[in-house]
Amino acid sequence: QQQVKQSPQSLIVQKGGISIINCAYENTAFDYFPWYQQFPGKGPALLIAIRPDVSEKKEGRFTISFNKSAKQFSLHIMDSQPGDSATYFCAASIGGFQKLVFGTGTRLLVSP
Amino acid sequence: ETGVTQSPTHLIKTRGQQVTLRCSSQSGHNTVSWYQQALGQGPQFIFQYYREEENGRGNFPPRFSGLQFPNYSSELNVNALELDDSALYLCASSREGALTDTQYFGPGTRLTVL
């Protein structure tokens, strides 16, 4: 019940295209869902986060869509750029400061 | 406002040795969490410290221990190192009770056990 399942494992998108990464969870007690971006050799950097009282949150080119009934959430990167090439992790927790349960990660490559 | 810092950046140890990793939390943050990230995997929660006490622990053996100091900085200690302990160790800080209680990660310490 503590798992967060993430797909796809890897993704190749053309520059200017839309990147979509999906996550699913089981534990209905989770109430905080962040996405982190990680470059090789660096720590994860918070990208955007959502709580289950809203179905969508947009910050610049990044949008989280949240479906509480399906226990799924996704990250959409609009107008993808080569600089977005990184590994993306979804996560979930009970309370934002509590233990984060991470997905397995998606390696995104945006081709020029 | 300074971010989360960790030291050292890299460390090489041999099996059976002990290691101490250090973390300084972001200004204003009172909670520190430690994660282990094996190559190609997502971070795994080790434990969290709040008010200088352990506040939750993941599925890690007792040879993984920690401390939090009055200035909210923290240490992760690993005894009797095993080859599988080779990983990136990440520290994250947050502020319990704040409206935005997101965890912010440091750059990590890369531990190699030979």
Q: For residues A56 and A29, give the distance between their C-alpha atoms in angstroms, rounded to a whole number.
A: 19
Q: Are A96 and B100 in contact (CB under 8 A)?
A: yes
User: Residues A77-90: what's their mean pLDDT?
Assistant: 97
Candidate from A47-56, A87-96, B94-103 with smallest mean pLDDT: B94-103
Which residue in A43, A46, A97 is closest to B95 by CB distance?
A: A97
- Report pLDDT for A1: 58
- Report pLDDT for B51: 86
Across B39-58, b (16+ Cβ under 10 Å) vs e yields eeebbbbbbbbbeeeebeeb
How close A27 gets to chain B, by Cα (Å)? 16
Among A10, A47, A8, CA closest to A24: A8
Instruction: Read off the DSSP letter of residue A65.
Output: E
Find the Cα–Cα–Cα–Cα dihedral A71, A45, B103, A67, rounded to 10°.
-10
Please answer yes or no on whether A96 and B42 come within 8 Å at the CB atom.
Answer: no
**Residue type present at position B99:** L
Tokens 């939090």, located at residue? B68
Compute how many other C-beta atoms are within 10 angstroms of the C-beta atom of residue B66: 22
How close B28 gets to chain A, by Cα (Å)? 13
Compute how many other C-beta atoms are within 10 angstroms of the C-beta atom of residue B60: 16
Which residue in A97, A99, A104 is closest to B96 by CB distance?
A: A97
- Report pLDDT for B103: 87
- Report pLDDT for A82: 97
* Contact residues on chain B for A99, CB-CB shorter than 8 A: 33, 45, 48, 56, 58
- Report pLDDT for B56: 87
* Contact residues on chain A for B103, CB-CB shorter than 8 A: 34, 46, 96-97, 100
Write the CA distances from B9 to A36, A38, B14, B63, B78, integer angstroms: 21, 16, 17, 22, 16
